[in-house]
Amino acid sequence: MSINIPRGTQDILPGEVELWQLIEKTARELCEKYQYQEIRTPIFEYTELFSRGVGDTTDIVQKEMYTFEDRGGRSLTLRPEGTASTVRAFVEKKMFGLPGQPVKLYYLGQMFRYERPQAGRFRQFVQFGVEALGSSDPAIDAEVISLAMNLYKSMGLSKLKLIINSLGDKESRIAHREALVSHFKPRIGEFCSDCQNRLEKNPLRILDCKQDREHELMKTAPAIIEYLNGESKAYFDKVQTYLTQLGIEFEVDPNLVRGLDYYNHTAFEIMSNAEGFGAITTLCGGGRYNGLVEEIGGPETPGIGFALSIERFIAALQAEGIQLDVNTGIDCYLAALGDNAKDYTVGLLQELRLAGLSAERDYINRKIKAQFKAADRLKAKFVAVLGDDELKNNKISVKNMQTGEQEEVELDSFVQYLREAVL
Ligand code: HAM
């Protein structure tokens, strides 16, 4: 019996992986421009990090974590997201004491959630995310949002919708919480058991319930935005002013609450509104999480960030019909005719590669015609043909596959010739 890939995971094969690499490269380059530095944290953490960080009453912690005991009896969890780990490292490595504040970090890596797999929803997926720790300037909220938007736009996406909301500061959230409890309490019996539990623990989570989404009380629930105090409102106004200044269009959505507990003030999501995009349209989510650093044992430090998955990024590119030129082809294919020539190309191939060129030769004893076919498949810019006679005369014939021009070149100067032609 053959063994299949686990549900909700993917193999990314050659031919597909180039697009992943391009997105990852573009993200890294953008982070360099915005001055975010990479952080790599472990794939698993102590379970408590997520139950405390992401929040005990969230779907992620209650239903979606891959949690296991190690041989020492410790409870570990495969990371469902990157913010908690980043903040843990920030606290543990005392990055709050670094001279360069705010600390601006990014990560690219696998995350794990035990969700019901469907288009755009996987159990293992790759998130690119950024976190800016140590600034409560609304300008950095706008910077973080603009980084995400510019990444999408730089890959050609245009059918994007940015929605933002403010979850306010602690005082605003307490006022809103009371209003939510009074709103739902009289009829909480009509809601699912999760929501009933959430009523006292964390009524905001009720608004995020997938099961009771259509209940009439959901539509009339008090919106946080009406409960913002003066300071929170001023902060949110300033974020909007900066977004406008950056030419980023947005919509304020008072119902946006996000699925993780650590948020306050700015919350945002970027959706694809391309026709034919699946049911799950959120490409990217993020927000401010002042208070999380303290929750994880560090000093009072504000923070904001976002994460997006490469899987949904690619789905959005496909929905917009964007074809990126990811497979640009190799520089040179070395075709050989005759045993001596074949032997000689072993060394010549290495010379080309050490000179900075991408090059390939035949390894399965193809006839010359089939070698040309192989060169075509690799989209070779040049095909160099070496026969035994040419080898004796210190010559090699080089064909430019774009122009069709062919030239005989001295074998000794071939590598230099090709370098000049290609680089
Ligand atoms: P999140 O909204 O849970 O936020 O996830 C962010 C993004 O990860 C989603 O918008 C989506 O692109 C992707 N994603 C989530 N689950 C899946 C899945 N099952 N399959 C494919 N893609 C998925 C967070 O994770 C926060 N840590 C974001 C953040 C960073 N907030 C502040 N800093």
For residue range 123-182, list pLDDT tens digits in order.
Answer: 999 999 999 999 999 999 999 999 999 999 999 999 999 999 999 999 999 999 999 999
Residue nearest to atom 7 of ligand 1 (CA): 308
Matching CATH topology for 17-169+229-319 and 332-422? Answer: no
Which two structure tokens, joined as six digits, stand for 268?
Answer: 């945002």
Could you report the per-residue pLDDT of 86-97, keeping only the tens digit for each? 999 999 999 999
Residue 17 has pLDDT above 90, yes or no: yes
Every domain of the chain and the residues it spans: 17-169+229-319, 332-422
| Residues facing residue 108 across a β-bridge | 128
For helices 310-319 and 17-34, the axis angle rounded to 10 degrees is 110
- Percent of the chain residues topping a pLDDT of 70: 100
- CATH code matching the domain that covers 332-422, chosen among 3.60.150.10, 1.20.120.1760, 3.40.1440.60, 3.40.50.800: 3.40.50.800
For residue 309, the model assigns a pLDDT of 98
For residue 423, the model assigns a pLDDT of 85
Mean pLDDT of the chain: 96
Residue 54 CA to ligand 1 centre (angstroms): 12
| Residues facing residue 118 across a β-bridge | 121
Full-model pTM: 0.94
Residues touching ligand 1 (Cβ under 6 Å) are 81-83, 113, 115, 121-122, 125, 127, 129, 131, 259-260, 282-287, 289, 305-309, 311-312
Topology of domain 17-169+229-319 in CATH is: BirA Bifunctional Protein; domain 2 (3.30.930)
Residue 253 CA to ligand 1 centre (angstroms): 18
DSSP string of 300-369? Answer: S--EEEEEEEHHHHHHHHHHTT---------SEEEEEESHHHHHHHHHHHHHHHHTT--EEE-SS---HH
Residue 105: pLDDT band (50, 70, 90) is very high
Residue 81 CA to ligand 1 centre (angstroms): 7
Could you report the per-residue pLDDT of 227-258, keeping only the tens digit for each? 999 999 999 999 999 999 999 999 999 989 88
For residue 257, the model assigns a pLDDT of 87
Could you report the per-residue pLDDT of 354-388, keeping only the tens digit for each? 999 999 999 999 999 999 999 999 999 999 999 99
Instruction: List C-alpha distances in Å: 269 to 71, 257, 285.
Output: 40, 10, 4
